[in-house]
Amino acid sequence: MSEPRAAAGTGEDHHRPRFHLTAPVGWINDPVGALRRDGRYHLFYQHNPHGTQWARPHWGHVDSRDLVHWRHLPEALAPSVDGADADGCFSGSGVVTEEGAALLYTGVRGPVGPGQWQATCLATSRDPGLREWRKAVENPVTPPPPGLALTGFRDPFVWRAGDGWHQLVGSGLVGRGGALLHFRSPDLRRWEDLGPALVGEDEHVVGEWAGMMWECPSLLQGSDAAIALVSVHDGDTTTHHAIGIVGAFDGTTLRPERARRLDLGPDWYAPCVLDDDGRWLVWGWSQEARGPAGPARAGWSGTLTPARVLTVADGWPRLDPLPELGRLRQRRLCLDGATVDGSLRHENAGASLDVELTLVGEQEAAVLRVLASPDGEEATTVTIDRAAGRLELDRRRSSRAEDVSADVVTAPLVVPAGPLAVRVLVDRSIIEVFAGPQPLTARVYPVRPDSCGLELAAPTATMASLVVHTMGAGTSPP
């Protein structure tokens, strides 16, 4: 594989997001290991620094004081030749300890596939900046329990409870469905098997399709309910989606009550959580929706969505944009008014935008076009139809390029009684639409340099307000 070109600034590459994280160079998949220590947030990510395709993952590392301005740091973990992680440091989680911090990750050996050996490994850091990580001599600390026919054993999620450290490992029982395997430890090194915390039935969980394997699990416990997040894997090469399972957790097992998708778009997977003093933050991976040539040319592949705020609302999982994103706002475009008559246009709005649209009337529909060329050859269209209860993202004209996804994504729109607030985050090659409890995330690749227009079309006398801000960059070099 050829070395990816080091990214020399983002000026030329108008697909590289500005406030969504990308690797300085190479491939990104899952965000992992989020933790907060000494006033800084640390986030890690599955990284191939040697190419723009997935291979032999390392753990890339960024930190931030405010969740929106991030700094790239040296790689935290790399596979050790002859180690328990010789073929990759797969996903896992991070925790703060008395000595510093610890990463629990998946060491793998052997080629990807059903026979690959996977086990939990431990690395610790004592330095204040968490730059240096030392792998435990005991590794692996948690091998797969014997006697179970498992579809995988990876992506440990660790938290501290009154009776010690707990670990959930993403897995699946052959013939049944996804599984969360549960372990407990006094010291992060010796783990006792507590049995499964939850197992799917017939590849479902409370009616929701959940595949044969659960990747990247996490568990959050609120005062009213617990919620597990899992990424659905089905033994194939398709990247599916993540679901939230709301239920009751008794310290050992989770009794599921409701489950549904967390994001309704095609390009959001492998969420990673941080319980930030009771506020639940969730990052996700947005994979490319284009062929391999573009990333190979650009030197990077994949991006992470900024933290979203997770709540359980009326018993269901809900994701909202991070309030701190407001700090990246730059210019305010004058597009707001009380009534939209026909259409509002701004031909040079920009390609990194924070769009707030409020539809006041109960029956109103609106069509928002972003990343639009002046002649309309390229544009991504978001249709919000309150009367039909439908949200639609049309990528058929998003790009003149041929090796990109070009479909129409539709989702039900949960219509509130009062005004409907829609938020659209646009960042060059990624769009996140928030119009209810489940966002919709998709990648788009306009090729024309003038595809930076914005238009709102609505029937005459639609009561709406539209506020648009351009967004600044969220990362800086180490």
DSSP string of 325-392, one letter each residue? GGGGEEEEES---SEEEEEEEETT--SEEEEEEEE-STT-EEEEEEEE-TTSSS-EEEEEETTTTEEE
User: What track of x and - describes contact with ligand FRU for positions 246 through 285 (by CB under 6 A)?
Assistant: ------------------------x---------------
**Does residue 89 interact with ligand FRU by CB under 6 A?**
no
Q: Which of 46, 301, 441, 462 binds ligand FRU (CB under 6 A)?
A: 46
453 to 13, 329, 369: CA distances (angstroms) = 18, 18, 8
89 vs 379, beta carbon nearer ligand FRU:
89
Nearest distance from C-beta of residue 5 to ligand FRU, angstroms? 22
Indicate the length of the chain as a whole number.
478
Nearest distance from C-beta of residue 197 to ligand FRU, angstroms? 18
**Does residue 215 interact with ligand FRU by CB under 6 A?**
yes
Q: Where are the beta strands (DSSP E) in 250-327?
A: 254-261, 269-276, 279-286, 300-301, 303-313, 316-321
Q: Which of 90, 268, 280, 283 binds ligand FRU (CB under 6 A)?
A: 90
170 vs 436, beta carbon nearer ligand FRU:
170
**Does residue 241 interact with ligand FRU by CB under 6 A?**
no
**Does residue 287 interact with ligand FRU by CB under 6 A?**
no
91 vs 125, beta carbon nearer ligand FRU:
91
216 vs 246, beta carbon nearer ligand FRU:
216
52 vs 380, beta carbon nearer ligand FRU:
52
Query: 39: exposed, middle or buried (C-beta count within 10 Å: 0-12, 13-18, 19+)?
Result: exposed
Q: Which of 64, 106, 124, 171 binds ligand FRU (CB under 6 A)?
A: 106
Number of H helices, E strands in the chain: 1, 35
Nearest distance from C-beta of residue 286 to ligand FRU, angstroms? 12
**Does residue 154 interact with ligand FRU by CB under 6 A?**
yes
- Which residues in 17-36 contact ligand FRU (CB under 6 A)? 29-30
Q: Which residue has the tokens 């969730």?
A: 282
Count residues near ligand FRU (CB under 6 A). 12
Q: Which of these, 436, 224, 218, 388, lies nearest to 312 by C-alpha position?
A: 224
DSSP string of 376-440, one letter each residue? SSS-EEEEEETTTTEEEEE-TTS-S-SSB---EEEEE----SSPEEEEEEEESSEEEEESSSS-E
Residue 210 exposure: Cα atoms within 13 Å on the Cβ side: 36
Host H or E run for residue 294: helix 293-298
Chain center to CA of 452: 25
Nearest distance from C-beta of residue 57 to ligand FRU, angstroms? 4
The residue with its CB nearest to ligand FRU is 90
178 vs 294, beta carbon nearer ligand FRU:
178
In this structure, are residues 437 and 317 in contact, taking their beta carbons and an 8 Å threshold? yes
Q: Which of these, 188, 165, 193, 180, lies nearest to 229 by C-alpha position?
A: 180
Q: Which of 52, 91, 142, 475 binds ligand FRU (CB under 6 A)?
A: 91
Instruction: Give CA angle at 201 (117, 258), nearest 5°.
Output: 110
58 vs 290, beta carbon nearer ligand FRU:
58
Nearest distance from C-beta of residue 302 to ligand FRU, angstroms? 10
Nearest distance from C-beta of residue 216 to ligand FRU, angstroms? 6
In this structure, are residues 378 and 451 in contact, taking their beta carbons and an 8 Å threshold? yes
Q: Which of 67, 68, 216, 382 binds ligand FRU (CB under 6 A)?
A: 216
**Does residue 300 interact with ligand FRU by CB under 6 A?**
no
**Does residue 171 interact with ligand FRU by CB under 6 A?**
no
**Does residue 57 interact with ligand FRU by CB under 6 A?**
yes
| Residue ranges in contact with ligand FRU by CB under 6 A | 29-30, 46, 57, 90-91, 106, 154-155, 215-216, 270
